[in-house]
Amino acid sequence: MRVLVTGGAGFIGSHIVEHHLSRGDQVLALDNLSTGSEANIAPFLRDDNFRFQRGDLLSWTDLRSAVAWSERIYHMAAVVGMFHVLERPAETLRTNIDGCERVLYEARRTGGTAELVVASSSSVYGKQSTDRMREECDITISPGEALANYALSKLTNELQSAAYAQKNGIKVVCVRLFNTIGPRQSGMYGFVVPRFVQQALAHEPITVFGDGTQTRSFCDVRDIVAMLDQLACTPAAYGKVVNVGQSREVTIQALAELVRSRCNSRSELKYIPYAQAYNKDFAQIPQRRPVLDRLHGLIHFRHAWSLERTIDDLVERRRVASVQRRVSEPATLRA
Q: How confident is the model at residue 335 (pLDDT cuts 50, 70, 90)?
A: very low
Burial 233-270 (b: 16+ CB within 10 A, else e): ebeebbbbbbbbbbbeebbbbebbbbbbebbebebebe
Active site residue 125: no
- Could you read off the pLDDT of 66-93 as tens digits, one per residue? 999 999 999 999 987 666 777 778 888 9
Catalytic position from the list 74, 150, 164, 189? 150
Q: What is the pLDDT of residue 283?
A: 63
Q: pLDDT higher for 83 or 104?
A: 104
Lowest mean pLDDT: which of 92-101, 128-137, 260-269, 323-332?
323-332
Mean pLDDT, range 247-274, rounded to an integer: 96
Statement: residue 332 has pLDDT above 60: no
pLDDT, one tens digit per residue, over 196-220 is 999 999 999 999 999 999 999 999 9
Amino acid identity for residue 200 in this structure: A
Average pLDDT, the chain: 91
pTM recorded for the entire structure: 0.93
Average pLDDT over residues 265-278: 88
Residue 6's nearest CA partner among 90, 95, 91 is 95
Using CA atoms of 118, 123, 129, 135 in order, give the dihedral in degrees to the nearest 10: -20
What are the structural domains, with CATH classification, of the chain?
2-181+218-245+289-303 (3.40.50.720)
Q: Which range among 29-33, 269-273, 293-297, 325-329 shows the weakest confidence by mean pLDDT?
A: 325-329
In tens, the pLDDT along 19-28 reads 999 999 999 9
The answer, yes or no, to whether residue 129 has pLDDT greater than 70, is no
Tell me the three state secondary structure of residue 180: strand
State which amino acid sits at residue 80. V
